[in-house]
Amino acid sequence: LSLVSIFVPIYLLTIGFSLTKIFVFMFIEWTVFALFTPLYGYLIHKIGLREVIFIRTPLFAASLFFLSMIDQSLFWQKFFYIIPILKGFSGSIYNLSISSLFVEYMGKRKQNEKTAKLIELPKVMSILGPFIGAIIAVLTSFEILFLLVAALLFISMIQLSFVKDNLNHPYFDLSVFRNFKEYARDFVYLVVYGLKINSYFLLIPLVLYLSSYDISSLGLVLSFLSLLGALFGIYVGRLADAYGARSIISAGGAMSALLFLLFGHFVNSNAFLYLTMLSGIIVVFINIPYEGYLFGQARKFSSPLKYLVFKEFSLFFGRSIGLIFLIFYSSRFDLVFYMVGVSSFIFWFF
């Protein structure tokens, strides 16, 4: 997935999509991903985790296949919104399933280090993914890249088919939503965090691409960011376990606030590239301990899925703030970076 995850907006740019239409595409995907998570919670409980993964894989592969057809098919150009719907649904049920399994088996000791391994170790296995994906896109085409990844997804299902027993059916209800006042503080921080992570993973590649239009260099830079995250992520997880997650989150919030304010100021400067390199170290100081805190909150429930659904539902509102703004002001990346910078200061008081 690291071969294609960053390149969907770039591909849409290369085939003539405007920035506004790209942000509409992303808004639809994240709406389907997060806004309907309570329904997905009931679905996961009903059919079980293995079946959910079986459903997710062909749907996500289909979205990549349809994506490869946009440039050649008037139908997919007209009904392009079907693609983000498929991506959002398949991505959400998979994310909830994997997160639920992780929380159930993570244990009480070294939670932040284990969270770092969950988030960063897959990056170790896919550090070259963005760069390889870029090379494939340059030497062949984005369409070939998407079809290749779709084929790899189907191949990955072979191993899962040998699992004879169904996996866990985690229980789900709306108890967290009914007790919203108790989790209102978490909701506020999740909104800010959603704005931050979506702006980082969406806008950084777009800014770098629009400044150079060099896909292979973009892939190399993002592979380097994956390497930095993998190297520093586990170290930060250990720091959070040793000195307390809240103190690391507070420091990370201050550093992230300054980082994004600088992103906004230097968005049209060569300095943006150097800030991007530095960001690979800074962002883990908030991402790792905060995700560890959220998984710890989920562990308090007999079924972690109850809180994980609430988490993704809440993140949507932060993601949507940035995307709705960009839909109307598609070239003002700087203002979104400033919004993230100012709002990130709230983590100083975590």
Q: Please give the chain's pLDDT, 350 residues, in tens.
A: 444 667 788 889 988 899 999 999 999 999 999 999 999 999 999 988 778 878 888 888 888 888 888 888 788 788 889 999 999 999 999 889 888 877 876 655 555 555 555 554 555 445 555 556 567 666 676 677 667 766 766 665 555 555 445 456 789 999 999 999 999 999 999 999 999 999 998 999 999 999 886 787 887 888 788 788 778 888 888 888 888 889 999 999 999 999 999 999 999 999 999 999 999 899 999 998 999 899 889 989 989 999 999 999 999 999 999 999 999 999 899 999 999 999 999 999 98
**Whole-angstrom distance, CA of residue 37 vs CA of residue 89:** 9
**Whole-angstrom distance, CA of residue 96 vs CA of residue 321:** 23
pLDDT at 157: 58
Is-contact 40 323, C-beta < 8 A? no
pLDDT at 132: 65
**Whole-angstrom distance, CA of residue 325 vs CA of residue 311:** 22
pLDDT at 322: 95
* 141 Cβ contact partners less than 8 Å away, ≥ 6 residues apart: none
Is-contact 39 174, C-beta < 8 A? no
Residue 96 corresponds to which amino acid? L
Provide the token pair at 142: 């984005």
pLDDT at 176: 96
Is-contact 115 300, C-beta < 8 A? no
Nearest to 224 by CA among 163, 274, 268: 274
**Whole-angstrom distance, CA of residue 43 vs CA of residue 295:** 21
CB atoms inside a 10 Å sphere around CB 236: 26
Tell me how far CA of residue 177 lies from CA of 16, 103, 110, 290, in angstroms: 41, 20, 29, 21
Is-contact 240 288, C-beta < 8 A? yes
**Whole-angstrom distance, CA of residue 28 vs CA of residue 260:** 25
pLDDT at 238: 84
- Could you tell me the end-to-end alpha-carbon distance of the chain, in angstroms, rounded to an integer? 33
Is-contact 135 219, C-beta < 8 A? yes
Q: Could you identify the residue written with the tokens 């790792």?
A: 288
Provide the token pair at 218: 């973009």
pLDDT at 35: 93
Identify the helix (H) or strand (E) that includes residue 2.
Answer: none
